[in-house]
Structure 1
Amino acid sequence: MSSPTSSRTRLHPAAIIALAVGGLLVISALTFLAWFLSTQQSDPNAEATDRLVHWQEIFEKYRTENGSLPDVPLGGYCLGDGFPIGVGGTANCRDIDGANHYTEADSAALMNDLGTTGALPAGTSAAVRGTIGPYALYEEHAVQLLTAESAPCVAPAIDVWTDGEGLHICQITLTR
């Protein structure tokens, strides 16, 4: 009996090196891409405005379903939950540690009313120089939806106040 002959071909050593280097380049490129994408920070100003627009949509949905915006006393209200503990040992929005703060607890009636439209957004926007949003200011003829941003406001929100040191208060107005 004769043994079968093998027709195996061998790669040239230079081809093996080229394949190994090519494989390392592909792995390096994928590693770099993963690192690059993980280091990309989202824009907190755009996120704050997106959050404000979402609240605007909820207020407008409430108006559509009920014929008007929620009826609460004039004043300020936190929009959402999870605000940091500030002055008075309470969860506060607007000026967390200042005299001009609103409490999350005092905003419960408004949140309950808005919650009749469906699930409400959770969480807060990033704090900027001790100011955090979103929050609403009920006035006689309008409801101002406000948040803090660290640069000029992102449309559709408009700049209504800045401290000149990196804090911008951005607003979307709802007529009552």
Structure 2
Amino acid sequence: MDMILTPAGLRFAGQIWPCTIGRGGVRGDKREGDGATPVGRHRIVGMLYRPDRIAPPTHWARPIRPGDLWSDDAGDARYNTMVRAPYAPSHERLRRADRLYDLVLLTDWNWPKAKPGQGSAIFLHRWRRAGYPTEGCVAFRPDHLLQIAQRIAPGTRLIVPETLDKSR
């Protein structure tokens, strides 16, 4: 069952789930740091959760441990992969003080063989608040994200149509 991004939200499991996207809109020419949500068919390749905050949403979810990071350094060989602290190149902490990454669905955007500069860490995660844009990810109300996570399987596709790309 596919998840399809529409102007009204994410169409999945017979309903529309309100969501927010990147501050850069939807783009077919995604670049690191542009804040855009990339056009394409992206597979869900993993699920992470904070075991100190929530129960495992599925049997295939992996816990986020202290020291888990995501490399966003386009010049590093481990660009766009999970890494462990200590890690000197540019990165994002997965175990955050806020609740944005209490539950994270990982996509295969620019993965597993990342091309430098084409963007990293396109996740589905919790939103800050309705309408508040992300850095390129797709974000949801926490209860909706949990319901989506419990209904998907590895390989479920997130489809971001070219028709949403307003940069052309």
- TM-score (norm. length: structure 1): 0.28
Q: Answer 1 or 2: higher relative contact order, Cα 8 Å, separation at least 6.
A: 2
More helix per residue: 1
More strand per residue: 2
